A and B are shown apart, each in its own frame.
Chain A
């Protein structure tokens, strides 16, 4: 019997029991659909996280000052200046003692109110050096970033993040304008491109650059000193923080180099800052963790999809066993007319494979549609990988074969004489 004939025969007998076939099909459709959809959602979520960490720079290691937990004795905290975090000599220490570092870029943040004309917004002035644009991967839309000579000359210049520029200047071109931040005036020399992607909670330099006013670190020190005044709901507090962040760039982005530098930085910090007021973030490690958790998530999602496929397969087997009983007489007739066992096996197998392949194809459609809906409705990123499509479809085909084989073998092993006698 030709393959085409087998398929048309299988189609005919499935069509005869349309409702039954459809119900059986739905198991496979949902199984394949859920495998594809779940993998797409998992992949999307983890790519989003990976992308966020990747923007921090894969050869970077970030040191950040962390405010130690405040003591509850109110009298003490009112009178004292809180002193914590990274020191300027840490920056020198790192550069001198740790090999395989290309550069280390400091940053210091001071909360101020920025003003241009009638408009005023709360923002942060960030004091840093020329290399910051490079290590933080900042792009300029117009003007230029800070240069070393800006710092040496203690120039009163600034570079604006995208969001703050919009809020303060509306449609005016900010470059060349004078901006007031706190008590001081700065001339805008550059405008940054939008970074987007939220507020980068993971110690990120991501979204915070959108709302920042960058000035030379030396200028900041001259004008503000080391003391920072915080005004919160009427009460005042002072902090003494020399640097808020040091971005260390390793000579290479390879895993070995980055982890060596990471280990060296950790021991450096544990010696200089045993109180835990400095936190180390390694984007590459975060990416690795994100990948690992994606792997676990994917396995979990794929397993639950596979289980539904398995259930679909059991449904197929159930139906086929019923079909074999129902068609015992037909099997007897075919055997009497010269069908070999293998002919009977292929006939029944063709039906289950047709079922599972049809279900698989519809399931793929569903699996592509659902992530699209999720993206559209919930705004979650989803990524459909070709691998997930191939995986889901081949599992469904396999399910058809595996769960069709037993009923088909049952059919083929019927004794023709017995089968003919059956009503």
Chain B
């Protein structure tokens, strides 16, 4: 790994530092007259540079957990500490700031903005982060090239294959050098060969020291992580550790 690799995380605290932590995190949805405890007192820590998979059936609470970890939602009760800061009570603007600076998202459906080019898509988080247009262009170009999209910079998402679109999404997720990279079924829409390519790319990021959290149904995907959290009815059912 060269120091100029745009996908490598900036040097931060040493490993074994906790970068994200849920403390008694509970999320209750009001569904008409009934309350649904989608997340029920979760306590869990994510270490710097760790690779965690979250598994569970539909309704087990894994999406809710991902939304809270991604600062898209707030716990009804309990705390979420991200990079040493309690973000559970932040207002909408500050939460947006946390998402922008500390988190990167990779979605199952890629979620690129259709009328923007590859470069422009990668630049979006930097625009909201106040990066100057010139610097954003440089960084976006390097990231896209690193993802093997050097000859596709001015293409629109519809002109790309699924695998290429997901690479753009990963480049975009890395744009602001996030503390945690969150992936929601990143291979769900891809054929197995392309899926494997994306997974190897995630492995590479992990090897560079990036903290990854990935939500999946697929045990083969989860097997790549050094830890799998199995969810059931809003609770952690069991945690499976693997020596990396």
Interface presence of A337 (CB below 8 A): yes
Q: Are B105 and A16 in contact (CB under 8 A)?
A: no
In the assembly, what is the distance between CA of A40 and CA of B115, in Å? 43
In the assembly, what is the distance between CA of A336 and CA of B133, in Å? 20
Q: Are B172 and A337 in contact (CB under 8 A)?
A: yes
Q: Are B133 and A5 in contact (CB under 8 A)?
A: yes
Shortest distance from the beta carbon of B184 to any chain A beta carbon, whole Å? 9
Q: Which of A329, A333, A337 contacts B100 (CB 8 A)?
A: A337
Q: Are B111 and A420 in contact (CB under 8 A)?
A: yes
In the complex, how many residues of chain B place their beta carbon closer than 8 angstroms to a beta carbon of chain A?
26
In the assembly, what is the distance between CA of A309 and CA of B114, in Å? 33
Q: Which of A333, A341, A420 contacts B113 (CB 8 A)?
A: A333
In the assembly, what is the distance between CA of A333 and CA of B115, in Å? 13
In the complex with contacts A13-B115, A16-B115, A420-B107, A339-B67 CB distance below 8 A: no
Q: Are A338 and B100 in contact (CB under 8 A)?
A: yes
- For A419, the closest partner residue in chain B by CB is B72
In the assembly, what is the distance between CA of A342 and CA of B72, in Å? 16
In the assembly, what is the distance between CA of A1 and CA of B120, in Å? 13
Q: Are A339 and B73 in contact (CB under 8 A)?
A: no
Chain B, range 83-140, C-beta contacts under 8 Å to A: 92-93, 96-97, 99-101, 105, 107, 111-115, 124-125, 127-129, 133
In the assembly, what is the distance between CA of A335 and CA of B114, in Å? 16
- For B96, the closest partner residue in chain A by CB is A340
- For B173, the closest partner residue in chain A by CB is A337
Q: Are B72 and A338 in contact (CB under 8 A)?
A: no
Interface presence of B70 (CB below 8 A): yes
Q: Are A1 and B128 in contact (CB under 8 A)?
A: yes
Shortest distance from the beta carbon of A162 to any chain B beta carbon, whole Å? 70
Interface presence of A122 (CB below 8 A): no
- For A343, the closest partner residue in chain B by CB is B128
In the complex, which residues of chain B have a beta carbon less than 8 angstroms from the beta carbon of A332? 111
In the complex with contacts A1-B128, A338-B128, A340-B128, A329-B133 CB distance below 8 A: no
Q: Are B72 and A417 in contact (CB under 8 A)?
A: yes
In the complex with contacts A16-B115, A337-B172, A2-B133 CB distance below 8 A: yes
Interface presence of A295 (CB below 8 A): no
In the complex, which residues of chain B have a beta carbon less than 8 angstroms from the beta carbon of A277? none
In the assembly, what is the distance between CA of A336 and CA of B99, in Å? 7
In the complex, which residues of chain B have a beta carbon less than 8 angstroms from the beta carbon of A12? 115
- For B97, the closest partner residue in chain A by CB is A338
In the complex with contacts A416-B72, A417-B73, A336-B105 CB distance below 8 A: yes
Q: Which of A16, A330, A338, A341 contacts B99 (CB 8 A)?
A: A338
Interface presence of A334 (CB below 8 A): yes
Q: Are B67 and A417 in contact (CB under 8 A)?
A: yes
In the complex, which residues of chain A have a beta carbon less than 8 angstroms from the beta carbon of B113? 330, 333-334
Shortest distance from the beta carbon of A196 to any chain B beta carbon, whole Å? 62
In the complex, which residues of chain A have a beta carbon less than 8 angstroms from the beta carbon of B73? 417
In the assembly, what is the distance between CA of A341 and CA of B93, in Å? 7
In the assembly, what is the distance between CA of A333 and CA of B70, in Å? 13
Chain A, range 5-25, C-beta contacts under 8 Å to B: 5, 12-13, 16
In the complex with contacts A5-B133, A417-B67, A337-B124 CB distance below 8 A: yes
In the complex, which residues of chain A have a beta carbon less than 8 angstroms from the beta carbon of B105? 336-337
- For A341, the closest partner residue in chain B by CB is B92
Beyond A16-B115, A338-B96, 11 additional pairs, beta carbon < 8 A: A335-B96, A336-B105, A336-B111, A337-B105, A337-B125, A338-B97, A338-B129, A340-B128, A341-B92, A343-B128, A420-B72
The 3 closest A-B pairs by CB, nearest first: A338-B100, A338-B128, A340-B96
